[in-house]
Amino acid sequence: MELKSCRVLVTPTSYGKNDLQLWTELEALVGEVVRNTFGRPLTAGETRGLIKGCDGYIAGLDTIDRAAIEAADRLKIIARYGVGVDGVDLDAAKERSIIVTNTPFANSVSVAELAIGLLFSLARSIPSAVATTKAGQWARPMGITLAGKTVGVIGLGAIGKQ
């Protein structure tokens, strides 16, 4: 099968969000790209409706059940965009010789940065300050300073190492 004659379903809502060139490059490589127009992970029924005729599937947090895999008449690979393969019926995929992969380090930097950002946000009481300001008040939450404190990370997986 020539790669440029493939049809690929792409459902992660973050795919190409900040870099539209990703879509252009993917379309140039495979031919036809079917996009998730729902703006959220797909339900099992929505997956079944879009997967027919697709050779590849870059999957987000969609539900990919047995019925969806059985509706996939040409599917060769499900590439989960992120960690894990939750939501994919692995037995059904194996029975149909569909390869299931994931991208375990794809978002580890972003998640680690978000965790540090949330740490600062909570330490300095930013969420409550935002809420009271939106309510028309000018509260002055104290929060705690992190200067001179030791912060520990529990877990040394991809995110913890970042």
- Per-residue pLDDT at 121: 93
Which residue numbers in the chain have pLDDT < 50? Answer: none
3-class secondary-structure state, position 57 = strand
- Per-residue pLDDT at 1: 55
Is the whole model's pTM more than 0.85, yes or no? no
- Per-residue pLDDT at 2: 61
Residue 151: which of 119, 127, 112, 128 has the closest Cα?
A: 119
- Per-residue pLDDT at 35: 94
